[in-house]
Amino acid sequence: MNEEQRLQGQQVKEKNPTDKKSEKDYSKYFETVFLPPSLKEAKKRGKEEVAYHNDFKIDEQLRGMGSGKKFYIRTYGCQMNEHDTEVMAGIFMALGYEATDTVEDANVILLNTCAIRENAENKVFGELGHLKHLKQQRPDLLLGVCGCMSQEESVVNKILKTYNHVDMIFGTHNIHRLPEILKDAYMSKEMVVEVWSKEGDVVENLPKVRRGNIKAWVNIMYGCDKFCTYCIVPYTRGKERSRRPEDIIQEVRHLAAQGYQEITLLGQNVNAYGKDFEDMNYGLGDLMDEIRKIDIPRVRFTTSHPRDFDDHLIEVLAKKGNLMDHIHLPVQSGSTDVLKIMARKYTREQFLELVRKIKAAIPDVALTTDIIVGYPNETEEQFEETISLYREVGFESAYTFIYSPREGTPAAKMKDNVPMEVKKERLQRLNAVVNELSAEAMKKYQGQTVPVLVEGESKNNPEILAGYTNKNKLVNFKGPKTAIGKIVNVKITEAKTWSLNGEMIEEHQLAEVE
């Protein structure tokens, strides 16, 4: 295989390394035959235009492959992965498989993995360990690893060496090749590894089986070109590629016609939407402006990068209607110096200015964020700046993380003088502030009547229904099961730190209130 083929991505079949007799044989074999995914190659952004395909087809010969068989997919990580799972489920169904939610029943098990932090990866390795017993009992079971971890060379090497009960490994750019990968795994009984280091094109007509019929994910773009110094995503998900607006709008119209109540537009950095179009000047603001005219009650988007959040988008969001007044805006740190080392390309002041603009246009907006504490060499003062920024913005909630070094990223090479106990203690201090401000935000709901999209029964009590407000606050309340899937009015009777309790107001009662 030449270098060009490698960059294009090639299917590489790996004989089970345990077939080899000695370590020496094995390493020789490993070097010459196996070409692992390469983070270095993944970093090289191709200049060639993205090609859009509408010609995904399942080979007639493979259609009955799954008849009488069941698949199980366990999803780790973000919404992007959840949506990829929906696509893979669609492909499995098209191949004749049935879904199951127990591993014991499954003929094929896939782990759709996340690489964002080390503990996400450890969970997957733990699960692979557990599944070994099942595989020993049922050798005909197919076990696959896909998602972001498959894009990392070190992970693929570790699976080859230590988890050779795995039958297939495929990457985030190879999902549409699932039928062929399955076929190869059945036929060869050798570990099938198919990971393209560089992103593929955009394939439009992949089948999907969505989880639920109330809320839906809609991909608007793939990949990330920001290369924040801590983040593995630009390597595992490839360069930014936007879907064409007409394809997105068609999908949203279709979801509206099917009765979906809420959509969330998805991308690693949705604010960069459209920057890769060479034939037009069209961004997220333009897209949202068209989507708000579609008859679907709620529209959200995630995740935003502050740097690309432009005035046009703010102007469009201020028109409200079905555009929800909740924005998730990851800041990561409140210190300009740390932001610089993170390569976030904005300062504390620029972030605060963006927040000021958003609040001026949408005064009652709810802002939430992501924060990393304990970045290499983060000082106490720099950490305090994060706390003060959090308060100054008045975030209503946050996902908070201790920095986790990711092999191949620039930050992983940085020397770090912050001990783990200090990082943990900072996380606790930050979380105390996050809880305090969340409770404050919740208190404002006390006594108010708010629209809630009812998703189903509460996890802990089937007598209670659960749903979310426009600003994405969880509400538990008593109500009839017929309310599930609808937006109903709920009077809030109790505000807790992370959720609200309430009573459903029937429509006739509401008329009396007005």
Q: Which of 332, 335, 438, 469 binds ligand 5AD (CB under 6 A)?
A: 332
What are the angstrom distances between the C-alpha of 285 and each of 245, 308, 507? Answer: 12, 11, 35
Q: Which of 9, 71, 72, 117 binds ligand 5AD (CB under 6 A)?
A: 117
Q: From CA 375, how far away is CA 377, in angstroms rounded?
A: 6
- 471 near ligand 5AD (CB under 6 A): no
Asked if residue 228 belongs to a known ligand binding site, the reply is yes
Positions in 172-231 near ligand SF4 (CB under 6 A): 224, 226-228, 231
Nearest CB to ligand SF4, comparing residues 116 and 256 = 116
Report CA dihedral (199, 201, 202, 208) to the nearest 10 degrees: -70
Residue 339 interface partner, choices ligand SF4, ligand 5AD, none, CB cut-off 5-8 Å depending on type: none
Number of neighbours of residue 17 by Cβ within 10 angstroms: 19
Asked if residue 148 belongs to a known ligand binding site, the reply is yes
Closest contact distance (angstroms) between CB of 475 and ligand 5AD is: 25
Closest contact distance (angstroms) between CB of 228 and ligand SF4 is: 3
Closest contact distance (angstroms) between CB of 373 and ligand 5AD is: 9
Please, which residues bridge with residue 453 across strands? 468, 487
Q: Which of 171, 151, 67 is nearest to 110 (CA)?
A: 171
Q: Which of 204, 226, 194, 173 is nearest to 52 (CA)?
A: 204
Q: Provide DSSP, 268-327.
A: TTGGGTTTT-SS----HHHHHHHHTTSS-SEEEEE---GGG--HHHHHHHTT-TTB-SEE
With residue 110 as reference, give the H or E element that holds it: strand 108-113
Cβ 326 vs Cβ 300: under 8 Å: yes
Asked if residue 231 belongs to a known ligand binding site, the reply is yes
Q: From CA 314, how far away is CA 356, in angstroms rounded?
A: 11
Per-residue string for binding with ligand SF4, 227-266, x by CB under 6 A? xx--x-xx--------------------------------
Per-residue string for binding with ligand 5AD, 351-390, x by CB under 6 A? -------------------x-x------------------
Residue 224 interface partner, choices ligand SF4, ligand 5AD, none, CB cut-off 5-8 Å depending on type: ligand SF4
Residue 117 interface partner, choices ligand SF4, ligand 5AD, none, CB cut-off 5-8 Å depending on type: ligand 5AD
Residue type for position 7: L
Cβ 46 vs Cβ 198: under 8 Å: yes
Residue 269 interface partner, choices ligand 5AD, ligand SF4, none, CB cut-off 5-8 Å depending on type: ligand SF4
Nearest CB to ligand 5AD, comparing residues 298 and 423 = 423
Residue 151 contacts by C-beta under 8 Å, 6 or more apart in sequence? 37, 39, 42, 115, 171, 172, 195, 197, 235, 236, 237
Closest contact distance (angstroms) between CB of 419 and ligand SF4 is: 25
Q: From CA 347, how far away is CA 234, in angstroms rounded?
A: 22
Closest contact distance (angstroms) between CB of 145 and ligand SF4 is: 21
Interface stretch with ligand 5AD, choices 243-251, 277-285, 387-395, 397-405 (CB under 6 A): 397-405
Positions in 226-245 near ligand 5AD (CB under 6 A): 230-231
Closest contact distance (angstroms) between CB of 111 and ligand 5AD is: 19
- 328 near ligand 5AD (CB under 6 A): no
- 305 near ligand SF4 (CB under 6 A): yes
For 135-160, give one letter per residue: b (16+ CB within 10 A) or e: beeeeebbbbbbbbbbbbbebbeebb
Q: Which of 69, 300, 406, 423 binds ligand 5AD (CB under 6 A)?
A: 406
Per-residue string for binding with ligand SF4, 409-448, x by CB under 6 A? ----------------------------------------
Interface stretch with ligand 5AD, choices 159-167, 193-201, 355-363, 401-409 (CB under 6 A): 401-409
Residue 396 contacts by C-beta under 8 Å, 6 or more apart in sequence? 366, 367, 368, 437, 438, 441, 471
Q: From CA 78, how far away is CA 40, in angstroms rounded?
A: 24
Residue 208 interface partner, choices ligand 5AD, ligand SF4, none, CB cut-off 5-8 Å depending on type: none
Closest contact distance (angstroms) between CB of 345 and ligand SF4 is: 10
In this structure, are strands 108-113 and 142-147 parallel, antiparallel, or unpaired?
A: parallel
Q: Which of 318, 294, 298, 299 is nearest to 452 (CA)?
A: 298
Q: How far apart are the first and last CA of the chain?
A: 73
Number of neighbours of residue 430 by Cβ within 10 angstroms: 19
Number of neighbours of residue 212 by Cβ within 10 angstroms: 11
Positions touching ligand SF4 (CB under 6 A) are: 224, 226-228, 231, 233-234, 268-269, 305
Positions touching ligand 5AD (CB under 6 A) are: 116-117, 230-231, 330, 332, 370, 372, 401, 403-404, 406
Positions at the binding site for [4Fe-4S] cluster: 78, 114, 148, 224, 228, 231
